Structure 1
């Protein structure tokens, strides 16, 4: 039970030591562990003021991790939106990410398939896979043709 500011801070620091978290995500996890909302809001604000909890760092870390893992910008945008981050902040972070999305698309396709589709069925299979991963239709079509 996280019923004191010290307990909430300790639990938050334990989570932040493992990886970056967004404010809403960290808040949700701490509430699940029994943190009171009033104390939680104060402690999260302190962590932000001290620079230990940063939405910007979380965005950068998440985009880098997922992008290098083969996810495209549309998929990453959707995942971050579901995590409660603002669309504007997400779009800015995606634009500023040091990732060549077209190159990531090509590398993912090369690893998974390696050769151009031989027929419509193969084209559909490759296109669905790449679209599901979050790459725009025009990029996928250009790559497969």
Structure 2
């Protein structure tokens, strides 16, 4: 029969798929630990790690510390990865909100870089979706709502929707 991965093994496996925040990885490892305990109680094959009733939170925190010490896990890499993936489609507000949900924040350099590029990024998103300024107020409102839902700031939205093609010259 197939044996379950140890808590450390599961942590390494999760991190090999993509970067995780500490909060997210902690939640997944606690879930895995509960599964290990339930299998041990139900008579299924013994997992690799002993499953005596130790404090689950402490056990998971020890594994997280081990993963961080070995270099498998880094919240800074998680932030960089998440920003890299999201910056082409979303504004600063949305990126900060998503990172806050994971229990991490942007550093000052990344915040400044995103702020400097937000107008150009918003214009690219707007151009891909709409391509041209709307002729009537209802169309402009639709474009503004779209950019707002993507997390761009109100000032940037106003400049993109009202300025249309002239925004490209502002950043260069």
TM-score, length of structure 2 as denominator length: 0.73
Large movers: runs of 4+ above 4 Å: none
- Pair 1:83 & 2:74 matched: no
Q: Is residue 93 of structure 2 the alignment partner of residue 74 of structure 1?
A: yes
Q: Does 1:130 align with 2:147?
A: yes
Query: Aligned partners of 2:146 and 2:112: how far apart in 1?
Result: 23
Any gaps of 5 or more consecutive residues in structure 1? 1-5
Give the C-alpha shift of residue 118 in structure 1: 1.0
Alpha-carbon distance in structure 1 between the residues aligned to 2:151 and 2:132:
20
Unmatched 5+ stretches in structure 2: 35-55, 163-172
Pairwise CA distance, 1:91 = 4.7
- TM-score normalised by L of structure 1: 0.86
CA contact (8 A) 2:148 2:154 kept: yes
CA RMSD of aligned residues (A): 2.0
Cα deviation, residue 51, structure 1:
1.6
CA distance in 2, matches of 1:126, 1:60: 29
Counterpart Cα distance in 2 of 1:27 and 1:136 = 32
In 2, Cα distance between equivalents of 1:11 and 1:135: 37
